[in-house]
Structure 1
Amino acid sequence: MSVPTIGAALGVADLAQYRDWLLEAQRDLELQSFFDAAVLNSDWQPLVDEALRQLDGHTGRLGIHGPFWGFTIHSKDPEVRAVVAKRMDQALDVCDAVGATQMVIHSPYTTWDHNNFDNNEDARATLIENTHATIGGVVKRAEDQGVVLVIENIEDVDPIDRRHLANSFDSDAIRLSIDTGHAFYAHTCNGAPPVDYYVKSAGEMLNHVHLQDADGYADRHWAIGEGKIRWHSIFRALEKLEVRPRLLLELRDKAGIPASMEFIQREGLGQ
């Protein structure tokens, strides 16, 4: 099997610099300019128009990062649920306008949850019920629109919990995402399994991966090879999947993309 083609998570402002790189291999792209409430509440059409202009000729898979600041997707408060649904609907409007087929949303699971699930009766079921009550309508709209929502691990300690949550919707419109740096932090600081175990746990539910290197202490988003993550084990786990997820460099400093690609290619992990 050939090595996977690596894409990136970029803002619209980054597209001009990386346009040729994206088009040369028709790389997957995640637009990260549409998760802020200030953007979603504004006239974002000019931003979409610029993205479409820069992406003329791009045939790789396209997604966006959905909103996440200031809320969780498992709220108990009906009024907060309404705000979450509004933000997600606004982001799905962007997906429709730009032609995105995937949207990243954040996992509701926290370290507190992990340590208290067996301390509070029905805690796992209640979290799932609250998530359905908050984004059930969003999942249905995404299904109708042809967009897949991918739940990204944030504080998740046990990756199987997120898989159970995604499966509970019984919908092709909700799948899993892994952020390698988040998983490495959970492994190093909170006793979670190693990062490749997250891949194995997700299995064929895995549709999306944020590739970032880290030290295991903080959410570094360093260039690949700069931190301590064991990349070969992750790519070996990815290689066993029948359907390849979108593999996207998500770096704080986008200038680290060339060095990341040099490392990935030198190690024979991707192209």
Structure 2
Amino acid sequence: MTAASEFFVNLPLRYIYTNPDYLDIFIERRIQPELGLDCLGGECLDRKWLEGIRRRLDEAGLSCTVHLPFLDLKPGSLNRAIRGATIEIMTSALDIARMFSPQRMVMHPSLTSWLEPDLFEKTFFYCCETVIRISDHWPGHPPICLENTHELSPAPLVRIVEHIDRENVGICFDLGHWFSFSKGSINKDFDRWFDAFAPYIRHIHLHDNDGDRDAHLALGQGKMDWKHIINRINELSPRPTMTLEPHNRKDFETSMEYFKTKILPALTQK
């Protein structure tokens, strides 16, 4: 697959740290990575190692996006210490992201939708404050794309983006999360979510599932209606960047083939 400026495949830094062959595969096949910055070992502490990855991508002429940390983090936490730790980890991650000049930066706002209304309002405003603090850490940063996860409606994420009201803070529409976590497989409400998100979509995550869980299946191996999804994506102008999110080597190959033969040709037919 030839590298194109708007298409990426997920590649957590911890994968490269434990198996350097992953980076070799991406470079040899000219696949642009979405670098995951949830660092569970020493990979984010070794600046020389990080600079080596950046240099190899630069030499190969490959761009990237980054996925900011999300494990154990809560931007809108009602606990001040947890919010503080989230800001500290996120701003450190932005310093790493800056090394790679990413096209997009994906972030989980991780809203707790089931909270009673008064507590949800608090966590909503705390989340907005946290995103603003993170955004201020890198003036002029590339778009931060807030990703839907467990929300049962598109409204809270849209509300965050509209409240922050910055050109470089938008939405990452994760299609697999909508289909599973948000019960899209049951509600059949893709158009409702798409229409709500459309003005703010800067990035899209593509992976499949059967609706029962966030399985990150290869594209075409679940029950998602990709023909309809791609038809709607074609309505967006400019077209958002996109990342495939397979979680194992077999699904990686299957997703790449499905994307190349089914999705990419449909996306190019305007």
Same fold flag (TM > 0.5) = yes
Question: Matched residue of 2:114: which SS?
Answer: helix
Counterpart residue type for residue 54 of structure 2: L
* 1:38 Cα offset (Å): 4.6
> Judging changes above 3 Å, is the alpha-carbon distance between structure 1 residues 55 and 242 closer, same or farther for their aligned structure 2 residues?
same
* 1:217 Cα offset (Å): 0.9
- Does the CA contact (< 8 Å) of 1:199 and 1:234 recur in 2? no
Question: Matched residue of 2:172: which SS?
Answer: strand
> Judging changes above 3 Å, is the alpha-carbon distance between structure 1 residues 174 and 5 closer, same or farther for their aligned structure 2 residues?
closer
* 1:139 Cα offset (Å): 1.8
Counterpart residue type for residue 176 of structure 2: G
Q: C-alpha deviations, 1:228-257, integer Å up to 9, x for none? A: 111111111110001111111111114423
User: Residue 55 of structure 1 corresponds to which residue in structure 2?
Assistant: 57
**How many matched pairs?**
256
- Does the CA contact (< 8 Å) of 2:135 and 2:141 recur in 1? no
Most deviating of 185-194 and 251-260: 185-194
Of the three residues 235, 241, 244, the one matched with 1:240 is 235
Q: C-alpha deviations, 1:88-144, integer Å up to 9, x for none? A: 11111001122224221113233524xx4xxx3x555433311133332112224x0
Of the three residues 21, 25, 30, the one matched with 2:29 is 21
- Does the CA contact (< 8 Å) of 1:95 and 1:101 recur in 2? no
Of the three residues 189, 193, 208, the one matched with 1:198 is 193
Separation in 2, partners of 1:57, 1:200: 40
Of the three residues 95, 108, 129, the one matched with 2:125 is 129
Counterpart residue type for residue 16 of structure 1: D
User: Residue 35 of structure 1 corresponds to which residue in structure 2?
Assistant: 38
User: Residue 266 of structure 2 corresponds to which residue in structure 1?
Assistant: 269
User: Residue 73 of structure 1 corresponds to which residue in structure 2?
Assistant: 75
Separation in 2, partners of 1:190, 1:226: 14
* 1:270 Cα offset (Å): 4.7
Aligned-CA RMSD value: 2.7
Separation in 2, partners of 1:229, 1:203: 19
Question: Matched residue of 2:58: which SS?
Answer: coil
Separation in 2, partners of 1:263, 1:256: 10
- Does the CA contact (< 8 Å) of 2:68 and 2:90 recur in 1? yes
User: Residue 169 of structure 2 corresponds to which residue in structure 1?
Assistant: 174
Name the structure, 1 or 2, with higher relative contact order (CA <8 Å, separation 6+): 1
Separation in 1, partners of 2:224, 2:61: 31
Most deviating of 256-265 and 144-153: 256-265
User: Residue 19 of structure 2 corresponds to which residue in structure 1?
Assistant: none
Of the three residues 87, 90, 102, the one matched with 1:88 is 90
Of the three residues 252, 257, 267, the one matched with 2:252 is 257
* 1:5 Cα offset (Å): 5.8
Q: TM-score, normalising length from structure 2?
A: 0.83
Separation in 2, partners of 1:202, 1:189: 15
Identity of aligned pairs, percent? 21
> Judging changes above 3 Å, is the alpha-carbon distance between structure 1 residues 111 and 160 closer, same or farther for their aligned structure 2 residues?
closer
Separation in 2, partners of 1:202, 1:250: 20
Are 1:223 and 2:225 matched, yes or no? no
Separation in 1, partners of 2:145, 2:212: 25
Gaps in structure 2 of 5+ consecutive residues: 17-21
Counterpart residue type for residue 84 of structure 1: T
